[in-house]
Structure 1
Amino acid sequence: MVAARLVHPSQTRRALGLGAGLGMLALVLLLLGITIGSTGLDSLAAMRQDPVAWQIVWDIRLPRTAGAWVTGALLGLAGAVAQGLFRNPLADPYLLGSGSGASLGAALALLMMGRPQAMAMSGSWWLQLGITGAAFVGAVLAVMLTLTLARGAQHTLRLLLGGVIVGVVLGAAKDLVTVAAPGILESMQGFTLGSTSFLGWQAVALMAAVLLICLVAAFLLAPVLDGLTLGESTAASLGLMLPGLRAALVAVLALATATAVAHAGLIAFVGLAAPHLVRPLVRARHGALLLLSAAMGGALLMLADLLARWLLAPQELPVGVLTALIGGGYLLWLMHRRGLVGGTR
């Protein structure tokens, strides 16, 4: 067992308080989410008498808002796992090439379906299922390719380099597909900017099930991340079977990221920013950090989704653009505060 540093009881109380606060925030944002849309509060007021208004709230607004939380939670969890696994605060869920693989899979699906303009993110459910499935398969295959190049999960540096190479190559392949079939460019733009617009209850249920599996697995593997903070040699000397446990962490990272990207496209900065938002508030081991990062990621994406619907209503902004602005702005402020931007440390 890893002899992890003891956490002061006050930090435990702070972690519990932060978790409760994030839960309350998610509930408030969920309630706000059912009031924001092209018809404003009219649909909410007419729910009892108008079946169309009921359908707008129950089948569109509510699953979209709940789906935004689950997607953000998956990315927040994946970001915390990636940063702990690679011992790098700049690691994000797409580090193993899953984002580029998902984009390539979606582009190939649009190309093979043959009706690119009709197959934007607003297509029928079976078309969406095909694009989602192709994106998921592409993300998983990209991670497997990274593991092949890195000769397994034994060496963190090899994994990092392999992920960078796979990301660049598959990104270039996706660009070649869009050049060969420019008709899919508009559809791919929606995917690469990220969107929660067409998340339904089936997608929410599937992502929630994957999130639960990943949370349980990551929590059980949290002592490995605690050990890795002391260095790989020290962690190995403590009796941790690093190759197998590292492979399990990569599997959690890949599954969470692939599921989120397949359903909502490429959403930037949520996985990177969520752990950074948690760490200044609570000094905790990775078990608590993973759970809180998931909750923070969910709240962050829900907030971005609400702003995307509200700022230019009835038009919508791409949610991935807002997450990049919010998360990137926070990280820039954090770097400036620590003397890494605009001065010398």
Structure 2
Amino acid sequence: MENKTNTPGFEGYAKFLKEKGPTTQLPAFDPNWIGKQPRFIVEDKIMNVPTAVILRFPKMMWLAAAAILLFTIGVWITFLTSKPESEIVRGTTLRAAVVFVKGQVSVMRDEEMKLHRGDLLNESDIILTGAGGALDISLTDSSVVRVKENSKLILKQLREDNGFQIKINLASGRVLNIIEKEKKTSNFYVETPSAVAAVRGTSFEVNASENESMVFVVEGAVEVISLNSTKNIYILEKSKLVTVNKDGEIESIDISKLNATLPEYKEMRKNLGSLDSELLLDVQNLKSAKTEEELSKVYDLSIERIIMKDGRELRGVVVSQKKGKLVVQTLQGSYILDEDAIDKIKY
């Protein structure tokens, strides 16, 4: 039978293949192939690959990678839990005493409390005065600050560190200051929204508002520093007045208002003298407590009820009694009380 094809040119290919002959050879026979399916062969190859072939990563490289990972985790945790460093304040904390009160005056701690003569003030206390209100604060036995009406004053720093280190912040209102630096290393600052007054031992007045601050010197000298980026400095002497606006611009005014303020400074000195310096020293070591039981245990004294003639009632321990005054510690704070102002004490 004659083979024919209808494919054009096929005869040439057919002749070539017939002359060349087959070139592909079958592989040698492997008896292990009998009974096996292709998937078994693949599984054997995978399971029989040596571990060393898969994990060619050097051991030291693994250790280095682990160390880097642990370090990265540690840095991240530190970043998440770290807090900004707060300003370091050195020295022993001091207490200030209220030596004069008029009108509406209060202190803000956990809550707002009315202030009375003889109350002791702590670092970070916020003093508030209303219309017609005023108070004198004895910072040391030779320095006193009068906070005038409608003022907000923060006792930012009350410290003893080789001299008194005192910083008050006048957010708004007016203060009169009599400052006597007993040591050259003592420092007293009045901050306002626009300036800082650094005292060199003097009597001076500061007024503060959101837009402008004013400093007037009665005696001595004050260094006034603007708080804007220029940090302008002005040395203010007796009977001189400067204003500092929110842009840091300082304007000096030669004005004499000494006669108007001098009587008030005399009154402040008199109020300061009513507080015995030895007594003020004693109250610096008073200890606070969270419960009356703890307070009684700290001082080894019984809790007493002190009824004042103005109607107030204090519960605490009488720490000392000398020169006609009682030092009392309560859960709310510390007090120097005049014996004449006490109605009775209930034990």
Larger RCO of the pair (alpha carbons < 8 Å, separation 6+): 1
Say which structure is richer in strand.
Answer: 2
Say which structure is richer in helix.
Answer: 1
- TM-score computed with the length of structure 1 as normaliser: 0.19
Larger Rg over CA atoms:
2
